[in-house]
């Protein structure tokens, strides 16, 4: 019988014969610790053993009770789901994949924006500011042609990714990807491998690569927040992030986000 008795605790009451009360602790995924306290009540012939189970794991808000469907086994699970979007197990699997893709695009986007901004400001290359790059005309192809090609290529890749999500391993079968299956050897949905997508051979044993998964999702979430900040900065200041940084460093006490937002509203 399990009885919830408070935040992070459970009492398990049942008949038993263990003569030694005490504490048992063990580690779970991502450093979470479960502690079982055994307390026995009654005579030697008939007694009740009470196990108080405390689960201590990081949550996005200290002291918060994480939802029961977020048990700490997912990479980057800190119990954050205020809208209850992950209550359905199938939906939760898809949200995990969606977050991975958004995180990776955000990391690539932040790196691309900062790199091109540095090249532009230092004068190494005459590149447009990032939010005007989409309007740039290229001599080798028209904008319409590039958009169509991108839609076709991205559509193909995303379709393959979705098919692998629905039927894990199906897209790694021989003949399913122009004979390049070995070079794109999938490890599990959301974690492709092979020499093309994992040239350094990191986390080959993806089932036991919890630390790598956690690092990736943390960096990806930071990149998504950074992209939001870059969007807001561009809308308010009409310059790139490196320009904003240089202006702030030129007068750190008077060129801050507060002065910038106050000036934009006047």
249-262 tens-digit pLDDT: 998 898 888 888 78
pLDDT of 160 over the 50 cut: yes
Which residues are part of a known binding site for chlorophyll a?
Answer: 99, 102, 215-216, 219, 221, 233, 248
pLDDT in tens, 49-64: 544 444 577 888 888 8
Which residues are part of a known binding site?
Answer: 99, 102, 104, 147, 184, 215-216, 219, 221, 233, 248
Q: How far apart are CA 222 and CA 215, in angstroms?
A: 11
**203 DSSP 8-state letter:** T
Cα-based torsion angle of the residue sequence 84, 89, 91, 93 in order, rounded to the nearest 10 degrees: 120
When pLDDT is averaged across residues 212-236 and rounded to a whole number, the result is: 94
CB 11, CB 50: distance < 8 Å: yes
Which residues are part of a known binding site for chlorophyll b?
Answer: 104, 147, 184
169 phi, psi to nearest 5 deg: 90, -10
pLDDT of 14 over the 90 cut: no
When pLDDT is averaged across residues 151-157 and rounded to a whole number, the result is: 88
Dihedral (CA of 58, 60, 65, 67) sign:
negative
Q: Give the C-alpha distances (Å, rounded to integers) separating 187 from 75, 101, 125, 174, 203.
A: 16, 16, 39, 15, 9
pLDDT at 171: 67
Question: Out of 11-15, 117-121, 123-127, which region has the weakest mean confidence (pLDDT)?
Answer: 11-15
Average pLDDT in the chain: 78
When pLDDT is averaged across residues 6-33 and rounded to a whole number, the result is: 48
pLDDT at 224: 97
Which residues neighbour 132 within 8 Å (Cβ) at sequence distance 6 or greater?
none
Please spell the DSSP secondary structure of 37-67, one letter per residue. Answer: EEEEEE-SSSEEEEEEEEEE---SSTT----
């Amino acid at each position: 019988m399990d009885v919830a008795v408070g935040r992070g605790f459970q009492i398990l009451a049942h008949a038993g014969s263990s003569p030694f009360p005490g504490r048992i602790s063990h580690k779970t995924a991502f450093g979470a610790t479960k502690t079982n306290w055994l307390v026995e009540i009654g005579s030697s012939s008939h007694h009740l053993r009470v196990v108080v189970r405390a689960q201590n794991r990081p949550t996005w808000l200290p002291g918060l009770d994480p939802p029961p469907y977020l048990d700490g086994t997912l990479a980057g699970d800190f119990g954050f789901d205020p809208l209850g979007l992950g209550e359905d197990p199938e939906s939760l699997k898809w949200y995990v994949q969606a977050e991975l893709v958004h995180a990776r695009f955000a990391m690539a986007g932040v790196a691309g924006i900062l790199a091109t901004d540095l090249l532009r400001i230092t004068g190494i290359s005459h590149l447009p500011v990032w939010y005007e790059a989409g309007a740039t005309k290229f001599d080798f192809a028209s904008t319409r042609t590039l958009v169509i090609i991108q839609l076709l290529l991205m559509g193909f890749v995303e379709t393959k990714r979705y098919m692998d999500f629905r039927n894990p391993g199906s897209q790694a079968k021989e003949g399913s990807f122009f004979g390049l299956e070995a070079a794109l050897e999938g490890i599990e949905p959301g974690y492709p491998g092979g020499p093309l997508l994992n040239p350094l051979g990191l986390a080959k044993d993806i089932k036991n690569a919890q630390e790598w998964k956690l690092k990736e999702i943390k960096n990806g979430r930071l990149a998504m927040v950074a992209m939001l900040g870059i969007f807001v900065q561009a809308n308010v200041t009409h310059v790139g992030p490196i320009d904003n940084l240089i202006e702030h460093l030129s007068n750190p006490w008077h060129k801050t986000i507060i002065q910038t937002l106050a000036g934009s509203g006047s």
